[in-house]
Each structure stands twice: as C-alpha cells, then as structure tokens.
Amino acid sequence: MATKETRAHDNAPSKPEAANQPDFLGLEPGELSELLRLMILARRFEEKTAESYQLGKIGGFLHLYVGQEAVAAGAISALREDDYVISAYREHAQALVRGVPARAIMAELYGRATGCSKGMGGSMHLFDRSVNFLGGHAIVGSHLPIAAGVGYAIRYRGGDQVCLCFFGDAAVNIGAFHEALNMAAKWELPVVWIIENNAYGMGTEISRSAAISELVGRACSYEGTASAQVDGMDVLKVRAAIDEAVRIAREEKRPSLIEAITYRFMGHSMADPSHGTYRAREEVEGWREDDPILSLSDTLIEAGLMTSEEYEEMDRAVIEEVEESAEFAEASPRPDESHIYDLAYSDEYPHGLDRRDSWR
Amino acid sequence: MAVITYREALNQALREEMVRDESVFLIGEEVAEYDGAYKVSKNLLEEFGEWRVRDAPIAELGFAGLGVGAAMVGLRPIVEFMTWNFALLAIDQVINSAAKLYQMSGGQYNVPIVFRGPGGAALMLAAQHSQSPEPWLAYVPGLKVCSPATPYDAKGLLKSAVRDNDPVCFIEGELLYNVKGEVPEDEEVLVPIGSADVKRQGGDVTIVTYGKMVHEALRAAETLSAEDEVEAEVVDLRSVRPIDVPTVLASVRRTNRAVIVEEGWPVANIGAQIVDDIQREAFDAMDAPIARVTGLDVPMPYARNLEKLVLPSAENIRAAARDVCYI
Amino acid sequence: MATKVVMAQLSPTMEEGKLIEWKISEGDPVAQGDIVAEIETDKANMDVEAMGAGVLRKIVVQEGATVPVGTLIGIIAEPDEDIESLLSEAEAEPAVVATEERPDAPEEATAPAETAVPDEAATTDEAAAGDETAEAAEEPSAVVPPLETGLEAESGRVRASPVARKMAAEKGIELGTIAGSGPGGRIVKADVEAAVAAPAPAGRAPSPGAIGVSEPPAEPRLRDERVEASQMRKAIARRLAESIGPVPHFYLTIEVDMGRALDMRSELNARADGFKIGVNDILLKTAAEALVRHPQVNASWDEDAIQFHGRVDLGIAVAVDGGLITPVLRNADRKGLRRISLESADLIERARARKLLPEEYQGATFSVSNLGMFGIDEFTAVINPPEAAILAVGMTQEKPVVEGGEITVRRRMRVTMSCDHRVVDGAIGSAYLATLKEMLENPLAMVL
C-alpha cells in the first residue's frame, strides 16, 4: 500500500530546512504566487475536462493530473524559454505550465481546428512548437529516446539548452528507458529525466512490477547520470531538485534522473475509478490531505506573502480562464474535412494520397 | 562516365549530402570506426568527426528514436540499420513516432529522417536475416519507402531521401552492394522519390518490380525476347511508397498484360496493391489476369537448394510472362 | 417454309465474310437461286444465292458488317409466315458460332449451327487437335439448333478479357462473333485484332463530329515495324552522316494558304460552348493526319534499319525560361481537334511551369515548332533525334498573291520541314508537305 509515509524519501539536493522556516529558494513573492496559480490552473482545468468528458464533449482517453500538479509546476518553472519539454500522455498540466494557452488545449480536447494540434492529436498528443513543447506521446517509453535525440541535437549545435522529459513510474521497466538513459549518459546529453512516480502503472502498483524498490536507483547503471528522489507533493522541493539537475545539464552536459514521489487523486483515466479495485478509499483520502495546492497556499498565507482573499481571487480568476477556454472550444470550428490529406506529409507526395478513395 | 559500385554510390551520396548540409548526420551500429558493416560509410568518420558519424550501441529502438528527436528539432539524421531485420526492434519509432508526428502535432513537427540499411535475402543467412520489409513499411501513411536497384538510382534516391522533409525508409540490397553501374561524376544525381523508371522498353508485357528483382526481370526479358519473341517492358518502381501508379498504368495500357515481381512473401505485399491499382484504373486495358511472382510463402530456410527454391528467378518470371501472353 | 440466308463458307480457308451489299430490300420477292447479296471472302467478292423462295422478310446483318461463317444474315419466308423463332435464334447465334469455332472449349460446346455441312464439320475436327475435340465432334450436327444454346446462353456471358471487350465495343463487333483463343475460350485482344484485320483494311471511318471530344480508338492506325535498310540505304545514311554530321538535315519549305483553316476555326469558335481552338491545334491535327498518310516521315534511323513508329506522338516545342522543352501529345492521329486543343494546352502550361514528368516529354515521333506568335516569317528547326523530321511553322500573314492573273490578298503561312536524309528523302518529304498543304487548304476534308 502506497502511503505517503512509506514512500517519501526526500534526498533532493536542496538546502536543509530550518525549523518552521519555509525555504523559498530565493524566489520572489511574485514567482511564488505564480507557481501557486499554475497549480490551481492545472487543477481547475482538469476538473473542467472531467465535466466536459462526462457531457460527451471530449472523446477518447482522458488521463487526469489531479494531485500531481507540484511536479509539472516545480519542474517546468525551472526552465528557460529556449529549453524543451516532452511528456507522455498525462500531459495537460505540463502543456499549461509551459505556456500553451488553456483555450488551445481545451479546443484540442474538444477536437477543434483551433486546438494546439489542430484537432489532430487530442488529449494524448498536445504539441506547441512556439513554446518548445514537444508533445504528448502515448506509447509508454517511446518518447525517452526522442528526448535523447533532442539532447543530441543540442550538443550537436553546441547549445546550452536542456530537454526536460516527464514519464511515469511504469516506464522504467521498458527497454526504451534503458536504451535512452544509456545513450544520454554515454554521450553526455543535456536531458533531465523525471519519473513521476504516482505509485501505479494504471492499476498495477509499481512494487509489483519493478525489481527495484527505489526507482531512482536505476540511475546507477548509467555512469555520469546525477540522481535524486524528491517529494513530488511539494512544489518547492521539486523546483529545487530540477534547478540543480538543469544546472548540471547546462554546465556539465550531464543527464539527471529525478524521481518525484507523487500521487494521482483520480483514476488512471476517466474510464477508471479513483479507488476500489486496486487501491483503497482511505489511501486516496490520506494523500488528499497532502494536497500540493493547499500546502503551498497555506505556506504563503502563513508567511504573510498572500492573503486568503488574494488566494480566493486567484482561484476565481483561474476558474474564469478555464470556463472561457471551454466556451472558446465549444464555439470553435471542427477541422475542415476537405483537408484530410494535408497533414500526412509535410513534403511533396507524388501521385497523391487520394488515389484509392474513389468510393467516397 | 564513371562506373562505380552500388556501395560506392551510397557512400558518395552520404558524403555529398553531409558536405552540403551541416545538419545531416549518420548514426548506427559500426558506422564510424568500422566504416560500416557493409563499408557504406567508409572514411566518413575521418572527414566529419564523431558527432556527425556516430557509432551507436546495439539498441535499434534507442538510436532510431534518438534520430526522431533530433529531426524534430531541426537536424536531418540518417539512421543506419545494419540490416532491416534488426529494425523490427525499432519499428515503434519508425511507425508510431516518425510517421505520425507531423499530422499528430497538427503540422508543427515534421520529421526529416532517413532510415536505411540492407533488406532481403543474401546467401544462406536463414530465416531471421532473410526477409523483405518493404510491404510492412509501405503500409504506413507518413512514410516514404525506396528500394533502388542500380548505383545511379541508389545515389540519386538516397540524396533525395536526405533532402525530403518527411521520414524515408531506404531499403538497400545486401547482394546489390557490389553491383556496378554508370554514375556521372561531375553532376548532381537526384532521383525523385515516387518515380518509376522504365529499365527496358517492350510492347508485349509489363514486368513491374523493384530492388534486386529488377536484375532478374531484365534477365527474364532478354530470354523472352530471344526465345519467345516477347518484348517485355521492365518497370522499376524504385519507390514503393508512393508507388508511381501512372507509369505502371501507362505501360500496362500499352501492353495489356502485367507480371509483378518481388522478392518477399506473397500475401499483402506491394504486388497485391499494384494488382488493385491496375484493376481499378486500367481494367479495360487488361488482356489477361495479372500474374505475380514472389518468394514462396515460408520463412527462409538455410539450405542452399531450398533458399534458391524460395526466391523468385528469371526463369519463374519468364514462365509468368509467357502465361499472361497466352504462350 | 422459311429459309435462312447465312454467311456461307465460300472458300476452304474462309472463317468469316463481310457483307458488301444486299441486292434486294426487305419485302422484295425472291425466287430460289436469285442473287440476294454480295459478300467479300478472304479471296474475292462473291454472290449469295437464295436457297428458297418467298419474300426477303428480314435483313439480320447490315451492309459493311463482318460475321463468321454460318451466321444468319437474312430470312426468306412467306409474307405472313411467323419468323419470330428464327429471329430469336439469330440473337442467340453469336454464342453458337463462337462455340462452333472453339471445339476445345468443352463448356461452350453446344450444337453447331445448322449450316454446318458434313464437310465443314470434318474440316473443323481436323483443324483443331486436342483431347476435347473428339468430344465436340461427337455432338450431333443437328440441322435444327435448339433455341437455348446451353451453358453459354444460360450464363449470358461470353468470356473475354476486359481489353478485348472494350476493343470489340469500339469496333462495333459482337463479341459472340469472335472465336476466343485464350484459356477456356476466352476472347483475348489478339482475337479482336484478328477479327478487325480480317476484312481488307478500308480507309479509316470518319470520326463523326470533329468538334466533339471523341475518345481515341484503342487500335493504333500504324504499325511498329523495323525494316532492315537496303545496302543503298545504308550507304546513303553513312555518306550523308559523314558529310554533314550525325543527323544529315535538309530542308523543305512550302507556303500554305490558311484562309479556309482560319475560317473554319472562327466557325468552330463561334459555337456557343465557349470552347476555343487555336491555329496551332489545327496544325497539330493536320500534321498528325498527314503522318498517317506518310508513315515514312513518322520514323527513325536506327543503326542499319529504319524504325517505323506505330504511334503518332507529336512533340510540341515550347519555349520556357532558359530553354526549350518538347512535351509530347500522344496518339495525336487518333484525337479530335478539341481533345488535341485541351491536351496540348495542358502540356504547354505544365511545360512552362516545369511540371512535366519525364515520360511526358520523351519519345515523340515527330515534332512541331511554331514561332508564328513571335512574328517569325519562316525558319528552320533542328531535328530532335531520333525523330526524322520537324516542322517549323512561321507566322500567318496577309500577302498579295497572284491568282488567275489578278492580285488578291490572302492569309499565308510558310512551313519548313527539316528532314533526316537517312530516313526521309526529298520526294517523301515533299509528298508529306504537299499533303499537309492540301489538308490545311481544304480543312473540311479532314473530317472525311
């Protein structure tokens, strides 16, 4: 059973905490409240998608991020604009935090032409080149070698960018994980690997499938790869760990493997109950007490950096933004059917793709 | 005009494209210090250095995916598979990533990558090393698939593949590397992807083929001419996705008869597709059912005599051509 | 009692005959022994005599048609006699005839037609060797065929390859009148070709309505043929080549009165459908037509032989930025003006946009270069090997011309043909140009 007590091993390379004195990592009050706002945005956005899904406005698979917001916000906020982010298929929050507009993501989920992938990708395939968001990839592990390739291109050009690669705990068991981490270590590629360990690969607890109890331990197979395990329910601890990993990548051209211990409050997807078959209601409720959003807002209010009115106002503004994104999506046109062949190839395709569709 | 081998033609193509465009790099097993398992990348490491000619670990899925990632952010990788048999380990990256990213991203990320290496049977390499991957690949929208038969086409197509902005699967022939042919020295050799080439003209029957089988078809055509008074037109597809259907149709409309030849297995292969294209678009031109000559429908056995039995020969092709000519 | 008039076998090798003329009309009285029709066999034209008396009740096969031996071509009967059963039999007959001629097709072996006299049946047996022959020969040579003709009629389908079916339809040949030589008696292309070639090659049927976009006939009007050059011809080729270069050119110029052609064009273009035909289209059409009449010009020098081309593929010289390209209008001789106009416009447009595929600018058999639009009076063009000639067309302009001692103003155009002397001699080239001129000056003749 995955309780917070048994799972959180924070050995992130952050400064030791002074008693009762929160460590704000030298961040400005505005940066701190922005971290909070991003987490609220991710939360409210997911709540809205769940509602829209139940109303049939969103189709396909919908994997929600509720509970894990601290990982996306803490990690991505450590990046520069010219860095790269790549993720698996539970990636709405990563896209939002990276700066993909909420309305573009919502429109994508609604299957509209105004979506960030023009309605061609859906929930699992969000892309936005303008913010170097390299996508949601829906085959477990498949985007890890791709992230290595982005790192290779950075080194190839002599750049100092970083590629941040999110994946779930279950991906550590697939061959691509090993192949990608091996190449990144051998060729010293600036990639930060983040395991979002939410304890379950769908309904299978990770301890039932991985022959290692601390996933971060896998890093020892790849010499030169820095590693840390971090409390993924604490956005500042995530931020501290990624700050250091990004520095190592940028300056030392070395990859890092960061394991963020986190938890999803909802099911694997909308088709999956949040509790019952593979985990107990009590377990979920236990983790909910450690809600990363409430933790940060309480901390900020206690530290006098924010009032509870300001927090409520922030929440109201976010809800408004999310509601507006849904209205935008609803009002957006569906993709033009006459362009069905336009995006299969970017280059010339001699003799046409429509040669064999005369039955239409 | 210089006469060079298929291997040298590929080497020239790689070198010329790497000189022309700094974003082009080669990655694969043994491509650098060893000069390539089939010496296709000879001397390239020396000229371009390790970041542009990269020896990869034996991890096809990994380095194929690495190529995809590099291509997404602007490089033009050439991923060499020591043979296409090993590329089966990488097929997720070829199909689920390279082929689909452009559309899946709403047209934001194209993947200008070449996956190349030898395919088909060589000599007594048995089941796991003797197979033709073209139909598997040609099935996938988002990919382009080439399989040249001659040094000229090998050079011209590979250069076009490197310049193409989408993923191109490039299947060479293990037994073709030593084939010689004329390739001009002082001019740019570019063969457009998706264009077939009539390797021999004739008015009585069209033989449609590609890759290694082009040579068998040409041999068959000579025998047909000498022994049967049948003039066969040999259409070398050169690319199997896109298939140059107009060229096939133009020939078949003149000859009214078609034989389709390929080395691989008979079910759901390239020839099956071409039969469909012909019957749909040139039904009224046909004077005989279309014949297909393929490898036999079994995994490749090791023994020499059995291997010969499984692979299509010029004699098989001649027999099929005689059939459709009602001889 | 009704009597059938059939396509009689009038020579030992005759397989089919062409109905040249009916000597009498439907309704005319006939006495036994009267000559009712004239037919053309593979040897000669011969008369058909009536085998019975009465009235020519029905003409089944029209003049001009070619049908296999044994086919019912007419019915002689009493004026009030019921001939329906004979007529329906005639409809079923094609299959019967095909069957009769293919005894090696067991599933089609039904009773031979009633005209099968013992001698003929024997001939058929001898001619067709094979296991199934005996079986077919055992069929009783019934004098009165059954109305139902067995399996073939049941299925209602004649076996024919798609191209054979299409060609037969285009030529107006009943598939059932053709014997199939393919597997299971399938009628294949060669069978239709044989059926077409059998009658004396008459002049080409005029294409009705030159204005309509008619589909080109599938059958080439010329033949691919390689004729070994004579010793003299080889010597001429060698010497001329040695003297002036690889392609020994010579040039012939002729002046053409374009008045009627231009009038015809105006008339065509005045039609309400908004379709415009250009002078060049008329030129292409005429050049192609003249090539059919002078196949020597539609040829190539090939080592020690002259290759005559079975197709008329016209190269159209098109100036493009930085050069010249010659897209090819395929089978120009088999296309109407409108189709030529549509296709050449498309080719020229894509040539200028450099969008032509290699196969669209290679392999012409003859070329036309028109610089009239640039105001050129006349010029000579260089042959595009392996073609044997190219037409250089100048501007059409008003000129004073002496006609019958009077000076009148005419619209004239000068055309120069460059010829490869190895293939085309002066007389041949001149004859071609004379034909071209004749056609352009009498454009209506083109529709004949």
pLDDT score of A31:
96
CA trace torsion C350, C354, C359, C365 (10° rounding): 70
- ipTM comes to 0.96
State how far the Cα of B157 lies from the Cα of B241, in Å rounded to an integer: 13
State how far the Cα of C137 lies from the Cα of C112, in Å rounded to an integer: 10
Paired residues of C22 in beta bridges: C37
Which helix (H) or strand (E) covers residue B135, if one does? helix B134-138
The mean pLDDT of A227-238, rounded to a whole number, is: 97
Say which residue, C269 or A343, is predicted with more confidence: A343
C249 as an active site residue: the answer is no
Q: Does A134 touch chain B (CB under 8 A)?
A: yes
B264/chain C closest Cα distance in angstroms: 29
pLDDT score of C115:
39
Work out the pLDDT band at C386, boundaries 50, 70, 90.
Answer: confident
pLDDT score of C140:
39
Work out the pLDDT band at A169, boundaries 50, 70, 90.
Answer: very high
- Nearest CB to A349; choose among B57, B92, B242: B242
Q: Do B288 and C359 touch (CB under 8 A)?
A: no
Q: Does C79 touch chain B (CB under 8 A)?
A: no
Say which residue, A313 or C80, is predicted with more confidence: A313
Whether pLDDT at C135 is above 80: no
Q: B32: Cβ–Cβ under 8 A, 6 or more apart, which residues?
A: B41, B44, B45, B50, B53, B54, B55
Whether pLDDT at C38 is above 90: no
Share of chain A above pLDDT 70, in %: 94
Q: Does B195 touch chain C (CB under 8 A)?
A: yes
Note the pLDDT tens digit of each residue in C187-212: 999 999 888 887 544 444 433 333 44
The mean pLDDT of C60-77, rounded to a whole number, is: 87
State how far the Cα of C413 lies from the Cα of B43, in Å rounded to an integer: 64
CA-wise closest residue to A292 among A4, A2, A95: A4
Cβ-Cβ pairs closer than 8 A, B with C, add up to 36
B34/chain A closest Cα distance in angstroms: 19
Paired residues of B258 in beta bridges: B206
The mean pLDDT of B254-268, rounded to a whole number, is: 97
Q: Where are the beta strands (DSSP E) in chain B?
A: 2-5, 24-28, 53-55, 76-80, 114-119, 144-146, 168-173, 180-183, 197-200, 205-209, 232-236, 239-241, 258-261, 291-293
Chain A contacts of B66, Cβ < 8 Å? 145-146, 148-149, 152, 180, 183
| Annotated active-site residue in B60, B134, B174, B307 | B60
The mean pLDDT of B103-125, rounded to a whole number, is: 96
Paired residues of C200 in beta bridges: none
User: What does the DSSP 8-state code read for residue C187?
Assistant: B
- Nearest CB to B286; choose among C162, C190, C359: C162
Note the pLDDT tens digit of each residue in A49-97: 999 998 899 999 999 999 999 999 999 999 999 999 999 999 999 999 9
Say which residue, C298 or A14, is predicted with more confidence: C298
Phi-psi region of C289 (alpha: psi -120 to 50; beta: other; left: phi over 0): alpha
Mean pLDDT (chain B) is 97
Whether pLDDT at C90 is above 80: no
CA-wise closest residue to C241 among C224, C252, C229: C229
Q: Does A111 touch chain B (CB under 8 A)?
A: no
Q: Are B41 and B11 in contact (CB under 8 A)?
A: yes
Whether pLDDT at A11 is above 50: no
Whether pLDDT at C272 is above 70: no
CA-wise closest residue to B138 among C411, C241, A296, A353: A353
pLDDT score of C218:
56
Q: Specify the pairing of strand B24-28 against strand B53-55.
A: parallel
pLDDT score of C177:
84
Whether pLDDT at B145 is above 80: yes
- Nearest CB to C189; choose among B195, B250, B256: B256
Paired residues of B233 in beta bridges: B206
Q: Where are the beta strands (DSSP E) in A95-246?
A: 133-136, 163-168, 191-197, 200-201, 204-205, 226-231
Q: Does A85 touch chain B (CB under 8 A)?
A: no
Say which residue, C384 or A306, is predicted with more confidence: A306
Mean pLDDT (chain A) is 93
Q: Which of residues 142-161 of A touch B (CB under 8 A)?
A: 142-156
Q: For residue A309, give the amino acid letter.
A: E
User: Where does C102-230 have alpha helices with state H?
Assistant: 118-127, 131-137, 150-155, 162-171, 189-197
Mean pLDDT (chain C) is 76
pLDDT score of C266:
85
Q: A334: Cβ–Cβ under 8 A, 6 or more apart, which residues?
A: A111, A112, A113, A119
The mean pLDDT of A167-178, rounded to a whole number, is: 97
In the three-class reduction of DSSP (H, G, I as helix; E, B as strand; rest coil), residue A79 is classed as coil
Work out the pLDDT band at A5, boundaries 50, 70, 90.
Answer: low
Q: For residue B81, give the amino acid letter.
A: F
pLDDT score of C72:
87
- Nearest CB to A346; choose among B63, B93, B110: B110
pLDDT score of C434:
92
B270/chain A closest Cα distance in angstroms: 14
Note the pLDDT tens digit of each residue in A119-163: 999 999 999 999 999 999 999 999 999 999 999 999 999 999 999
Does the bond joining B135 to the residue before it have cis omega, within 30 degrees of 0? no
Q: How far is CA C348 from CA A126, B214, B289, C365, C374, in A?
A: 46, 34, 37, 18, 16
Stretch among B311-325, C103-117, C252-266, C287-301 having the lowest mean pLDDT: C103-117
Q: Do C359 and B256 touch (CB under 8 A)?
A: no
Q: Where are the beta strands (DSSP E) in C64-158?
A: 66-68, 72-77
How far out from the chain centre does Cα A7 lie? 20
Whether pLDDT at B277 is above 60: yes
Say which residue, A89 or C275, is predicted with more confidence: A89
Tokens for B38? Answer: 């089939």
Whether pLDDT at B138 is above 50: yes
pLDDT score of C216:
52
* Percent helix, strand and coil across chain B, each to the nearest 5: 40, 20, 40
Stretch among A340-354, B137-151, B267-281, C356-370 having the lowest mean pLDDT: C356-370
∠ CA(A146), CA(A147), CA(A151), 5° rounding? 115
Work out the pLDDT band at C136, boundaries 50, 70, 90.
Answer: very low
Work out the pLDDT band at C10, boundaries 50, 70, 90.
Answer: low
Stretch among B260-264, C227-231, C393-397, C428-432 having the lowest mean pLDDT: C227-231
Task: Please return the burial class of C170, using the count of CB atoms within 10 Å of its CB with bins 0-12, 13-18 and 19+.
Answer: middle
Q: Do C182 and B195 touch (CB under 8 A)?
A: no
- The single residue listed with the structure tokens 């204005």 is C211
Work out the pLDDT band at C105, boundaries 50, 70, 90.
Answer: very low
Note the pLDDT tens digit of each residue in B167-207: 999 999 999 999 999 999 989 999 999 999 999 999 999 99
Work out the pLDDT band at B165, boundaries 50, 70, 90.
Answer: very high
Residue B239 has phi, psi (to 5 degrees) of -120, 140
Length of chain C: 448
pLDDT score of C195:
87
pLDDT score of B229:
95
* Percent helix, strand and coil across chain C, each to the nearest 5: 35, 25, 40
Whether pLDDT at C128 is above 60: no
| Annotated active-site residue in C249, C294, C309, C421 | C421
The mean pLDDT of A203-231, rounded to a whole number, is: 95
State how far the Cα of B260 lies from the Cα of C263, in Å rounded to an integer: 52
Work out the pLDDT band at A18, boundaries 50, 70, 90.
Answer: very low
pLDDT score of B16:
98
Q: Give partners of C (≥3 CB pairs < 8 A).
A: B
Whether pLDDT at C403 is above 90: no
Work out the pLDDT band at C13, boundaries 50, 70, 90.
Answer: low
Share of chain A above pLDDT 90, in %: 86
In the three-class reduction of DSSP (H, G, I as helix; E, B as strand; rest coil), residue A259 is classed as strand
Task: Please return the burial class of A148, using the count of CB atoms within 10 Å of its CB with bins 0-12, 13-18 and 19+.
Answer: buried
State how far the Cα of B69 lies from the Cα of B36, in Å rounded to an integer: 23
